[in-house]
């Protein structure tokens, strides 16, 4: 018996345009450039002796409060297992191994960095591996989208452009080396509430180059874009403005913006070392804030490791 682990990295929206709305179901259409930070949750999976493909979930970690107990049945990790059993078919599902997954929740909850979606994507990667299931890319994308619009991009954990409701992915421009700081003020922001509060206007799809040679080039182009949800989120949670002010004042900050629907904000720096050097100045402003500083994920190759049981 062996156990596997996966890292579910934080997804950061470097910009987010609301470009329209689908007539059929009212979902908003987006254009966003997503990258992944080194900050991550961790999922540990152990194969059990039973059969039927049941997923038992235990949640630990800094941000585990309120996520365990009966709520586990509704967790996206458990739902990922249920969808894969459905895809496998009733007869094949009877032979799938039962598994136990421990989620070490180190990313803030409901914070605009795709934590739950990243966890669901990590669970899909683990379960597909353990259950020896192989799905064509389009089918896997459809399965991931059933769990949430952010789950497809989190499967690969590589920089990508997100369109549609988030499930239409295309390659991101080549990114230059840089560092990043993430700050969350500790308040959850409701995504539906933010969309409801935003001004009912749409922003055109961004024009991006195939590559950025320098961070200055990338910052110049990103500064011309927006996060169309930021103003509404700040009205709901004014402390986001305090976070943005602290990031913009941090030594070496090149660009500061809110990610997703909030409340987490990010800042770009020349290097991971520069981001970490500025961390203390930001923490002096908000001693209770969650702050992380480091590098972006350049590859998804190192997110899976087999560990002897």
Catalytic center residues: 11, 150
Q: What is the spatial distance between Cα 201 and Cα 45, in angstroms, rounded to a whole number? A: 44
- DSSP string covering 124-150, please? HHHHHHHTT----HHHHHHHHHHH-TT
Among 269, 271, 189, 183, smallest CA distance to 231 is for: 189
Burial 16-29 (b: 16+ CB within 10 A, else e): bbbbeeeeeeeebb
Q: What is the spatial distance between Cα 262 and Cα 47, in angstroms, rounded to a whole number? A: 36
- H/E stretch holding 208 reads none
Question: Are 176 and 269 contacting, i.e. CB atoms less than 8 angstroms apart?
Answer: no
The residue ranges of DSSP E strands in the chain, in sequence order, are: 2-21, 28-51, 55-60, 97-104, 160-163, 168-171, 179-184, 255-258, 265-269, 290-295, 304-308
């Amino acid at each position: 018996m062996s156990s596997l682990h996966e890292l579910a990295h934080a997804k950061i929206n470097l910009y987010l345009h609301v470009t329209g709305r689908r007539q059929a179901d009212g979902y908003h259409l987006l254009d966003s450039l997503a990258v992944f930070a080194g900050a991550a949750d961790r999922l540990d999976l152990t194969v059990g002796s039973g059969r039927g493909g049941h997923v038992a979930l235990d949640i630990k970690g800094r941000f585990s409060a309120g996520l365990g107990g009966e709520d586990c049945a509704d967790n996206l990790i458990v739902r990922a297992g249920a969808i894969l059993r459905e895809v496998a078919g009733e007869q094949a599902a009877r032979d799938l191994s039962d598994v136990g997954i421990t989620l070490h929740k180190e990313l803030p909850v409901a914070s605009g960095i795709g934590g739950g979606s990243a966890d669901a994507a990590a669970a899909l990667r683990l379960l597909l591996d353990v259950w020896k299931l192989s799905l064509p890319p389009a089918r896997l994308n459809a399965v991931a989208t059933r769990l949430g619009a952010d789950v497809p991009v989190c499967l690969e954990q590589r920089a990508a452009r997100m369109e549609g409701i988030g499930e239409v992915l295309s390659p991101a421009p080549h990114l230059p080396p840089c560092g990043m700081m993430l700050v969350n003020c500790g308040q959850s922001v409701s995504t539906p509430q933010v969309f409801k509060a935003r001004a009912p206007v749409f922003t055109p799809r961004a024009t991006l180059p195939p590559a950025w040679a320098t961070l200055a080039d990338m910052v110049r182009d990103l500064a011309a874009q927006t996060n169309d949800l930021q103003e509404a989120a700040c009205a709901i949670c004014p402390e986001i403005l305090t976070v943005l002010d602290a990031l913009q004042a941090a030594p070496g900050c090149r660009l500061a913006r809110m990610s997703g629907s909030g409340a987490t904000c990010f800042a770009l720096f020349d290097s991971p070392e520069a981001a970490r050097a500025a961390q203390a100045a930001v923490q002096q402003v908000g001693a209770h804030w969650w702050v992380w500083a480091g590098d972006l994920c350049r590859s998804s190759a190192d997110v899976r490791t087999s560990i002897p049981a």
